Amino acid sequence: MATLKTHEPILTADEALQRLIDGNLRFLRGEARFPTVQKEILANLAQGQRPYATILGCSDSRVPPELVFDAGFGELFIVRVAGNVLSPEIGGSLQYAGSHLHTPLFVVLDHSGCGAVQAALENQLHGVIVQDKIR
């Protein structure tokens, strides 16, 4: 089991971009670090998607729905936004899932310790000054 490396140095933007590029190249070569990536499945999914559930989840990097529910590519239609807040864009994505993908199940995935919710509450309840888009 991997351990959380909280004392790892912060990456620069160039280093982070290189990690994304390297990961994508591994993915394209069929050498991804995760065993759920199979070229046959990806080729089949290129024809279309039929996810069995739509999930509205938080953007928090610690709770990826695919891993939380042990789901593979194409099985879940996931909409992620910090704090699970509903906007016209989020609503449109959820409507698309129901109307066009016909997912039979919609789930709002919550988690404890949500930083976005905490920041919004601090602003509303305690007047803590935050950036104007966190409310």
Q: Which residues are catalytic?
A: 58, 60, 62, 111, 114
What is the widest separation between alpha-carbon atoms in the chain? 53
Q: If DSSP codes are grouped into helix, strand and coil, which group holds residue 108? A: strand
CB 92 within 8 A of CB 71: no
β-partners of residue 55 are: 78, 107
Identify the residue whose tokens are 């910090």: 82
R_g (Cα) of the chain, nearest Å = 18
Token digits for 68?
């939380």
